[in-house]
Structures are given as C-alpha cells and as structure tokens.
Structure 1
Amino acid sequence: MINKIMELYSRCGISLLDNGINDAVLPMSVANKALELFSEAQWTVLGGDVYQKNNNYMENIYADWHCNLSDYPESCSYAKEHLSKLKGDNIYISFTIKC
C-alpha cells in the first residue's frame, strides 16, 4: 500500500521546498484517490493545508483544516467532506497523517 501512495506522490505531487516546507502537495484531482489509499493503509488524516498555484509558486490560501477523529475511516471521510467544499482553480492539498 505504501508503494501506491509513494507512486501517487511521485507522479502527481509538487514539492513545497521552494516555500521552505519539507512537504509535497497533491492536485485536487487526485486528493480523493490519496484519501482512499490512506484509508486502505489504515492511516488517520489529522488535517491538511490548501494551496493554490500562482505563477509556479504554491500560495497557502488558508482553507486549512484539522480533524480530531482517531478512527481512520472517519477521518478520511471528514477530509473528503471538507475538500468537497473547496472551489477554485489550481487547488492543491497537503495532508497531515498519522500512520
């Protein structure tokens, strides 16, 4: 399962190193796939940050969220519900997870 998650980040992820953050974001178009993989791996989603790509720079748009659920299926469902409310172009998500 970890290989599938790593492959998704390798194929679709964008580094935030230019922002001074040692993390990567995924485009909104694959966020639900990531959440499915996290759930299959039994990883709990603790929250995430939301970015918008502007002129090749990732700008935090402060639509971040956190989740206090310790049950991994519920936390992934909560994340999906939150992300479904986001609108806009060039939206990217970074996830905070607990393995």
Structure 2
Amino acid sequence: MGLKEAALDLSEAGQALDLFAGQKWLVLGGDVYRATSDGRSLEPTYDNWFYEGNNVDEGISAARDFLHSLRDRSLFVVFVVTGRTLPPRITASSKRAGAHGESAVLGAGPLRECNKATVGQQRPVDRAA
C-alpha cells in the first residue's frame, strides 16, 4: 500500500483550510516538511499535530493555531482530512492511522505523481528520511 500525498507551501495553507471549511471537510491533523538542501524533494521536520474531535470548525482552528506557531515560514504542510465528520464509533486516531483518512491538499497547481503527488513547487515527499 503506497501513500499519495500532496505537500503545500505553508504560505498557501490558509487558503487550503478555507477550502476545507467551505466543503465541511474535517481536518484530522498534518505533517510538516522542508525542502532538502538540493531543493529537489521534501523531508520531514517531524513537526505535526492531530485533532481527535468531530467538529469541522475546531479541527480547522487547531490546524491554524499549529501552523501560526511555526517560526520557519519556508515549510510545506500535508493535511490529513476526511470529507465528512466522523461517526461517533470511529475515532480520529483510527482515521489518522489510515482506517479511512486521506492525505490531501487542494491547491492552484496540477498534481504530479511520482512516489508521492506534490503540488506547488512539485517536489517529491521523501518519507524514508
């Protein structure tokens, strides 16, 4: 099972969160990446957040709060979202673990598939790092 993810420049994350809110997508969390020294791919910073509630507005607020706390503004973010709120019997942590969640970002550019789909500057995400 491979993962397909889209990394979005941090400067565009607010716009993505606005789109998620408009579609009532529940933001379960996300991961933060930085460009590698050669600028050809992304590597994890190991900064991340998660939300275990069932409220779309609270999930988006948690994401905004976390992203505003980042000091380095030249980062990229991958959101974990679901297109609906979670039923009470399915917890966000099971969704985060991959039960039904998807890593997704909506952006202005086309997605390009390689090992991982990327958007913006179209750099592959290197999960092995």
TM-score class normalised by the smaller sequence: 0.7 to 0.9
Letter in 1 for 2:12: V
- Alignment length, in residue pairs? 80
Letter in 1 for 2:81: I
> 1-side partners of 2:15 and 2:67: how far apart?
12
3-state SS of 2:31 partner: strand
Structure 1 residue 35 displacement after superposition: 0.4
Which of the two has greater helix per residue? 1
Query: 1:87 maps to what in 2?
Result: 71
**Structure 2 unaligned blocks of 5 or more:** 84-129
CA RMSD of aligned residues (A): 1.3
List structure 1 runs of 4+ shifted beyond 3 angstroms.
none
- 1:97 is the counterpart of 2:84: no
> 2-side partners of 1:78 and 1:59: how far apart?
23
- 1:71 is the counterpart of 2:63: no
Identical positions, percent: 32
- 1:30 is the counterpart of 2:3: no
- Cα displacement string for residues 37-89 of structure 1 (whole angstroms, at most 9, x for unaligned residues): 10110000000010001222201000011111211011001100000011215
The structure with the larger Rg is 2
Describe the shift of the 1:62–1:39 C-alpha distance in structure 2 as closer, same or farther (beyond 3 A).
same
Describe the shift of the 1:38–1:91 C-alpha distance in structure 2 as closer, same or farther (beyond 3 A).
same
The more displaced of 86-95 and 75-84 is 86-95
Aligned runs of 1:43-62 on 2, under 5 Å? 43-54=25-36, 55=38, 56-62=40-46
> 1-side partners of 2:77 and 2:12: how far apart?
9
Which of the two has greater strand per residue? 1
